[in-house]
């Protein structure tokens, strides 16, 4: 019997094809918007997590100042001293490595090609703290670090723009006024979540950068690796106490700040998740609108087919069979709208992910839930018209013009 009812529902939908399409348009838009927004939100969250993970897990960033900028309009706070790096590494429990950094900008030149880039002076501890591998070559040796030798590890962007696809390791190029031997090439990281190209960098021993570019021994940034067995919050508090003592803040506001990459990741992930839920909830309103549209059209259909209903009741059909016929018709309409909405969502996702530079993901759970919700809307909003059709009096229905 159910097969016959389903066949009748499909015939009725085909008989009024344009009206049926306009009826399910709200469901199509609702399902498509919910699935697309939720999937893109998850992809954005995943991309943010990957970009934060590229900074290193269990890593603290220690900078002078109260934020990323100078802040407060006052004088620039002093940079760190190399002895601060040694003190943190030796006196704070749970610290696995400390990578000091000194930065400068210069133009790199090789055989007529030139490229303006960032020079990052650091130590081999940088590659312990940061999960950044080399695609070829090697890192600094202790002797090269202590001597401040002009050896370089370049990012893939610098390699592409200077060497045009050729081999870089073993070559010598000029950066600023310094001739530098290339000993390694970094693996590609891509765009950073906070803007900028992470691969547009030249890494040198910090003493070489301080001697040849900055002209001082200041450390502008410290990356502190934390042992997995220790709480980053506890280590962060210990570093804060040590730096207050060493920088003689004397009760004043700290002139340095410490960022926990895990806290940044959790904050950004929570924000993107909340925004995704809000957008999905707003998009879900169109599902309700679509359900109301189905109910309205089904009521019109009941009025148009009153004589048909009367004939069925007169020749022996029971009320439940009539109710089931119209209810199945509403559910079929909703399910067709849900399927079209899912296809529309995948099309939007396929177009949007390359533009947003986020990974494309297919979540079967989201798609299944959205489809089941569309079917549920057919049940909820189709029941009233179906109940009205089943409650018609056969005699009154046969007299209907």
Residue 208 has what pLDDT? Answer: 93
Coil vs helix vs strand at 316: coil
Residue 69 has what pLDDT? Answer: 47
Mean pLDDT (whole number) for 339-357:
89
Say how many C-beta atoms besides its own lie within 10 A of residue 61's C-beta. 19
Q: Which of 195-199, 228-232, 357-361 has the lowest mean pLDDT?
A: 195-199
Better pLDDT: 251 or 154: 154
Mean pLDDT (whole number) for 191-218:
83
Residue 70 has what pLDDT? Answer: 45
Q: What percent of the chain clears pLDDT 70, i.e. is strictly above it?
A: 89
pLDDT digit string, tens, across residues 234-276: 999 999 989 988 887 666 777 888 888 777 777 777 777 787 7
Residue 132 has what pLDDT? Answer: 82
- Tell me phi and psi for residue 386, to 5 degrees: -65, -40
Per-residue pLDDT band for 5 (boundaries 50, 70, 90) equals low
Mean pLDDT (whole number) for 317-340:
83
Mean pLDDT (whole number) for 129-145:
88
| Strand-pair category, 113-122 with 256-260 | unpaired
Q: Is the pTM of this model over 0.95?
A: no
pLDDT digit string, tens, across residues 279-318: 778 777 877 888 888 888 888 877 777 777 777 777 777 7
Give the ranges where 210-361 is alpha helix by DSSP (H): 232-247, 261-304, 306-314, 319-356
Query: Which burial class, exposed, middle or buried, applies to 334 when counting CB atoms under 10 A from its CB (0-12, 13-18, 19+)?
Result: buried
Coil vs helix vs strand at 118: strand
- The Cα–Cα gap between 187 and 138 comes to 12
Per-residue pLDDT band for 3 (boundaries 50, 70, 90) equals low
Query: Is pLDDT of 38 > 50?
Result: yes
Residue 172 has what pLDDT? Answer: 92
Residue 249 has what pLDDT? Answer: 67
- The Cα–Cα gap between 370 and 346 comes to 13
Say how many C-beta atoms besides its own lie within 10 A of residue 333's C-beta. 28
The mean of the pLDDT values for the chain is: 83
Per-residue pLDDT band for 55 (boundaries 50, 70, 90) equals low
Q: Could you give the angle at the alpha carbon of 300 between the alpha carbons of 297 and 303, nearest 5°?
A: 155
Per-residue pLDDT band for 201 (boundaries 50, 70, 90) equals very high
Mean pLDDT (whole number) for 77-105:
91
What are the residues whose beta carbons fall under 8 Å from the beta carbon of 163, sequence distance 6 or more?
110, 113, 171
């Amino acid at each position: 019997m159910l097969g016959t009812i389903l066949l009748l529902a499909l015939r009725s939908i085909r008989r009024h094809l344009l009206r049926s399409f306009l009826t399910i348009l709200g469901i199509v838009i609702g399902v498509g918007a919910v699935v697309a927004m939720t999937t893109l939100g998850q992809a954005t969250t995943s991309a943010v997590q990957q970009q934060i993970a590229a900074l290193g897990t269990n890593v603290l960033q220690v900078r002078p100042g109260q934020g990323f900028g100078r802040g407060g309009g006052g004088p620039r706070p002093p940079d760190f001293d190399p002895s601060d790096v040694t003190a943190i590494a030796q006196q704070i429990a749970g610290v696995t490595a400390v990578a000091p950094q000194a930065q400068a900008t210069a133009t790199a030149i090789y055989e007529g090609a030139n490229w303006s880039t960032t020079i990052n002076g650091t130590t081999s501890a940088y590659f312990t703290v940061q999960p950044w591998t080399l695609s070829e070559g090697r890192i600094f040796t202790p002797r090269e670090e202590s001597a401040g030798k002009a050896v370089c590890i370049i990012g893939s962007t610098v390699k592409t723009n200077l060497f045009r696809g050729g081999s870089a390791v073993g070559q010598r190029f000029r950066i600023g006024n310094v001739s530098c031997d290339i000993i390694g090439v970094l693996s590609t990281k891509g765009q950073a979540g906070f803007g900028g190209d992470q691969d547009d960098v030249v890494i040198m021993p910090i003493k070489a950068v301080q001697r040849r570019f900055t002209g001082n021994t200041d450390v502008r940034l410290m990356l502190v690796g934390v042992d997995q067995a220790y709480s980053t919050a506890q280590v962060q508090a210990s570093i804060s106490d040590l730096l207050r003592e060493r920088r003689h803040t004397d009760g004043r506001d700290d002139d340095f700040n410490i960022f926990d990459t895990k806290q940044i990741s959790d904050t950004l992930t929570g924000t993107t998740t909340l925004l995704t839920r809000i957008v999905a909830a707003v998009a879900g309103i169109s599902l309700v609108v679509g359900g109301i549209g189905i109910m309205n059209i089904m009521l019109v259909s009941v009025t148009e087919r009153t004589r048909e209903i009367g004939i069925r009741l007169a020749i022996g059909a029971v009320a439940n069979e009539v109710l089931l016929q119209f209810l199945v018709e509403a559910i079929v309409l909703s399910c067709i709208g849900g399927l079209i909405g899912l296809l529309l969502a995948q099309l939007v996702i396929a177009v949007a992910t390359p533009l947003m530079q986020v990974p494309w993901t297919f979540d079967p759970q989201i798609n299944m839930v959205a489809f089941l919700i569309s079917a549920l809307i057919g049940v909820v909003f189709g029941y009233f018209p179906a109940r009205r059709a089943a409650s018609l009096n056969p005699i009154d229905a046969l007299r209907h013009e």
